[in-house]
Amino acid sequence: MSDLASNSNSKDWLITLSGEAQATATLQAGVDLALAAGAFGQKVTLVFSGEGLALLQPEPQRHESLHRLLGSLPHYEIDQVYALASYGEALTYRDDLTVLPISQAEWAATEVAADIVVNF
């Protein structure tokens, strides 16, 4: 059994959602990819930055259905997400997800370590 585990197809994914808040289709595609990867046992690091940070606000400013969908991330083995905010930017995040800050240097290190990197 352990031989099968070592031959796993599991990959480390880094998915960054930083697209314009008005680009619903782009943000939706990024969330869909994260959910699909998580559903198939992949390790997903999901980072929100730029305009994508709006999806982490406590109440949706727009994209209400996408905002609700993000609440299902823990059901897809994505137990925490990361916020790449500007230095000194004090933001309040939604309370149904574990949102952790990530620095530019940490994000870059995660990018180097990931098997698959996708930016939306």
- What local confidence, expressed as pLDDT, does residue 64 receive? 86
Under 8 Å between Cβ of 28 and 59: no
pTM, entire model: 0.87
- Give the pLDDT of residue 49: 92
Positive or negative: CA dihedral 51, 45, 117, 102:
positive
Residue at 14 is within a domain: no
Position 2 in a domain: no
Q: Judge whether 1 lies within some domain.
A: no
In order along the chain (120 residues), what is the average pLDDT of each group of 10 residues? 56 92 81 96 95 89 86 95 80 91 95 96
pLDDT score for 22 = 61
Q: How many domains does the chain have?
A: 1
Domain that holds residue 73: 19-40+48-119
pLDDT at 63: 78
Distance CA 102, CA 100 (A): 6
